[in-house]
Structure 1
Amino acid sequence: MLYEKAPAKINLTLDVLHKRPDGFHEVEMIMTTVDLADRVWLRPMNDGKITIKASERFVPNDRKNLAYQAAELLQKRYGITEGVEITLEKSIPVAAGLAGGSSDAAATLRGLNRLWNLQIGADELAAFGAKIGSDVSFCVHGGTALATGRGEKIKHLPVPPNCWVILAKPAISVSTGDIYGNLDLSAVTHPNTAEMVKALEAGDYEAMCKSVGNVLEPVTMDLHPQVVVLKEQMQKFGADAVLMSGSGPTVFGLVKHESRVPRIYNGLKGFCPEVYAVRMIGERNFLD
């Protein structure tokens, strides 16, 4: 049996530039990994089948699961006759804007690359990931990156300045399709992606906090007022910067001073069932 860690990601910025002819949106976003992770266990099987076992009952155990799709893709591409049992120990909330499913798929790609001795390089593995979902390419690499295109074009960036990340997910699920469907690109305030890149390159925590932005945040907030309350409370309790991740509904706060973390964490527990205090990871997985 083989084990891979599947970290969550947060969006420091998320910009949508326009809708593409293929129906996807052209995005420009800066993502980084945090130390909240699923555990993915891969057990070789002789029956040729792909089996998904998940600790969370809302996670699909069939072809709808991105980890299943990752295993099936490699099986078909390389003519693998061996099967695999994929066990997902979930810690990342489901449908939360933290790329839990995408990270599970990326971990499955990395793990099966080792288990089946395929010797695929990181960039090629990330290209396989792009066939599964927009965030999978980033999750294959991990770390901190600028993602463009529909999310599959990755440019690596420096690790963010050291800080705590408080994550809070309200007891709702958000459909990414609904959020993009309600996005009016003529009325958005675009984040300054270039300023965020400069802040990361300079290791400037204050500039990083000033540069966070997500064009999907107002859309999700209009549909789900709980997200507004959560953001306001996190700001009130003293986080240095507060933003919704992805299409939501998870809100995160950046906190430099550890002494502030318990107050924010405990304060949010009164509003929200799922609260996590974690560190940024921000460092890449090196496969080559």
Structure 2
Amino acid sequence: MYIMEKAPAKINLSLDVLHKREDGFHEVEMVMTTIDLADRIELELLQEDRIILEAESRYVPNDERNLAYLAAKKMKEHFALEEGVHITLKKYVPVAAGLAGGSSDAAAVLRGMARLFDLRTTPEELAEIGSEIGSDVSFCVHGGTAFATGRGEKIKEIPAPPPCWVVLAKPPLGVSTKTIYQSLEVEKAYHPDTQAMIKAIEQGDYEGMCRYIGNTLEAVTVQQYPEVAQLKEHMLQAGADASLMSGSGTTVFSLVEQDVKAKRIYNHLKGFCEEVYMVRLLGTKEKLD
């Protein structure tokens, strides 16, 4: 039996870090939404009790260091599955980019194995399993647009943002999320107005969404990687309606309402950065397989 799943990337329209928790994680408030840039996950049932992961990218491992592999292991343990699974991962989302590519791959494996083994489960149960793998996995199980709290695993669905183009640029740099959080001084940091962002989205206010976009981690990453600020500046100079770093970086994205302007920004950035993408904002809980 053979199953295919789509693993869309996400961007943070708002990311606020409130404080460090006793468990070592940080308390966050985020607005996350999916974009039309996705990995593809293929799952095949194996009769023997093993997990095989083939990642068609030299940048990602094929063992437990890969969240997709870890998701398969968690599913086998949680549901006492005696048969195995062969996973083929086709990477299109940049690695170590702040786009939750690995988390979305893990979420796709959770959904795909639920279908492959015909398990009587719910998205909520899969999201709970996902929270043991990584903070963004719970959101990626559901997709769409959400207000995330806790360490990112508590999800409240909100409406899709106003439609627009998203132009993304990933410089040839990889950052450690852990290192960025360790460098953050929460008391001195900038804190975006996440509630204003949610209100703008609920009202379909594109200009408001662009106005309240913000990321507490951006200044920390920019201090270590000035290229992030340079990419933002290039986007805004080329006519982006808004520009922001996603997650802990280093991908920078711009929101653009007009396709002609989006194409101009895309072409402009190709002169500065190899990994550039122009995609639509998804934001809805579409069928992901």
The reply to whether TM is greater than 0.5 is yes
Q: Separation in 2 of the partners of 1:259 and 1:33? A: 22
Alpha-carbon distance in 1 for matches of 2:69, 2:246: 25
Secondary structure of 1:120's match? coil
CA shift for structure 1 position 286 = 6.4
Asked if structure 2 preserves the Cα contact closer than 8 Å seen for 1:141 and 1:285, the reply is no
Tell me what 1:120 maps to: 121
Structure 2 CA distance for partners of 1:24 and 1:185, relative to 1, 3 Å: same
The CA distance in 2 between the partners of 1:62 and 1:72, in whole Å, is: 10
Report the equivalent of 2:175: 174
What SS is found at the alignment partner of 1:3?
A: strand
Alignment of 1:38-53 (within 5 A): 38-53=39-54
The residue number in structure 2 matching 1:218 is: 219
SS at match of 1:168: strand
Q: Which residue type is aligned with residue 26 of structure 2?
A: H
If the length of structure 1 is used for normalisation, what is the TM-score?
A: 0.98
Q: CA shift at 1:189, angstroms?
A: 1.4
Counterpart position of 2:199? 198
Counterpart residue type for residue 82 of structure 2: T
Instruction: Determine if contact 1:69/1:105 at 8 Å carries over to the other structure.
Output: yes
Task: Give SS of 1:102's match.
Answer: helix
In the other structure, the counterpart of 2:91 is: 90
State the partner residue of 1:70.
Answer: 71
How far residue 46 of structure 1 moved from its aligned partner, in angstroms, is: 1.3
CA distance in 2, matches of 1:119, 1:270: 50
Identity of aligned residues (%): 60
Specify the code of the residue in structure 2 equivalent to 1:222: Q
1-structure distance, mates of 2:104, 2:220: 25
Distance in 2 between residues matched to 1:24 and 1:55, nearest whole Å: 32
Report the count of equivalent residues: 287
In structure 2, distance between residues paired with 1:173 and 1:88:
20
1:185 corresponds in structure 2 to: 186
1:26 equivalent to 2:2? Answer no
Matched with 2:131 is 130
Given that 1:141 and 1:286 are in contact with CA atoms closer than 8 Å, whether structure 2 keeps it comes out as: no
Question: Residue 274 of structure 1: CA displacement?
Answer: 0.3
Describe the superposition over 1:92-144 as per-residue Cα deviations: whole angstroms up to 9, x where unpaired: 00000000000000000000000011121111111111010000000000000
Distance 1:119 1:163 in 2: 37
Letter matched to residue 13 of structure 1? S
Give the deviation of 1:285 after TM superposition: 4.8
In 1, Cα distance between the equivalents of 2:212 and 2:87? 39
2:143 maps to what in 1? 142
Give CA-to-partner distance per residue, 1:219-247, whole Å, 9 cap, x none.
00000011111010011000000000000
Root mean square deviation, CA, Å:
0.9
Residue 281 of structure 2 corresponds to residue 280 of structure 1 = yes
Does the 8 A contact of 1:122 with 1:286 survive in 2?
no
Structure 2: which amino acid aligns with 1:45?
L
CA distance in 2, matches of 1:104, 1:250: 18
Rounded to whole Å, the distance in 1 between the matches of 2:51 and 2:91 is 19
In structure 2, distance between residues paired with 1:77 and 1:141: 19
- The CA distance in 1 between the partners of 2:238 and 2:18, in whole Å, is 33
The residue identity in structure 1 corresponding to 2:81 is I
Taking the aligned partners of 1:40 and 1:286, their CA distance within structure 2 comes to 14
Alpha-carbon distance in 2 for matches of 1:84, 1:169: 32
- Residue 13 of structure 2 corresponds to 12
Q: Which amino acid aligns with 1:14?
A: L
Amino acid at match of 1:130: S
Question: Which residue matches 2:262?
Answer: 261
Contact 1:16/1:28 (8 A) holds in 2:
yes
Instruction: Give the secondary-structure state (helix, strand or coil) at the position aligned to 1:209.
Output: helix
Which segment is superposed worse, 48-57 or 242-251? 48-57
Question: Letter of the aligned partner of 1:260 in structure 2?
Answer: K
Q: Does the 8 Å CA contact 1:140/1:285 hold for their aligned counterparts?
A: no
> Structure 1 unaligned runs (5+)?
none
For residues 153 and 181 of structure 2, what CA distance do their matches in structure 1 show? 18
Contact 1:166 1:265 in 2 (8 A): yes
Residue 36 of structure 2 corresponds to 35
The 2-side partners of 1:171 and 1:263 are apart by 22
Q: Deviations over 1:72-95 (max 9, x none)?
A: 111111110111011110000000
- TM-aligned CA deviation for residue 262 of structure 1: 1.6
